[in-house]
Amino acid sequence: MLGSLEKRILSVLHKERKINAREIYQALKEEGMAITYVTVNTVLSRLYKRGLVNRTKEPFRGTFRYTYEYKDIEDELITSLLGDVDILFGKDGIDHLKMKLDAKKDQEIADAEEKGILVSNSIPSPNMRIKLSRNDAQNSIIKKVENISEQNISACYQCGKCSAGCPMVTLMDLLPNQIIRLVQLGQINDVLKSKTIWLCASCFACTARCPKGVDLAKVMEALRLLLLRKSTNYVEPSKLDIDENLPQIALVSNFRKMTG
pLDDT (tens digit, 9 = 90+) per residue, 211-260? 989 999 999 998 988 888 877 777 776 666 777 777 777 667 766 777 76
The predicted structure's pLDDT at residue 242: 72
pLDDT value of residue 6: 83
Strand partners of residue 65: 58
Top-ranked range on mean pLDDT: pick from 95-109, 154-168, 222-236: 154-168
Confidence (pLDDT) at 122:
46
Is the pLDDT higher at 174 or at 134? 174
d(CA 102, CA 56): 46
Query: Using one digit for the tens of pLDDT, what is the confidence trace for 183-222?
Result: 888 888 888 888 888 888 888 889 888 998 999 999 999 8
pLDDT of residue 81: 60
For residue 59, give the 3-state DSSP assignment: strand
Q: What domains sit in the chain, N to C, each tagged with a CATH number?
A: 4-70 (1.10.10.10), 123-258 (1.10.1060)
Q: How far apart are CA 130 and CA 182, in angstroms?
A: 10
Residue 123 pLDDT exceeds 60? no
More confident residue, 149 or 126: 149
> How deeply is 223 buried, as exposed, middle or buried, from its count of CB atoms within 10 A (0-12, 13-18, 19+)?
buried
The predicted structure's pLDDT at residue 185:
86
Residue 203 CA to residue 7 CA, distance in Å, equals: 26
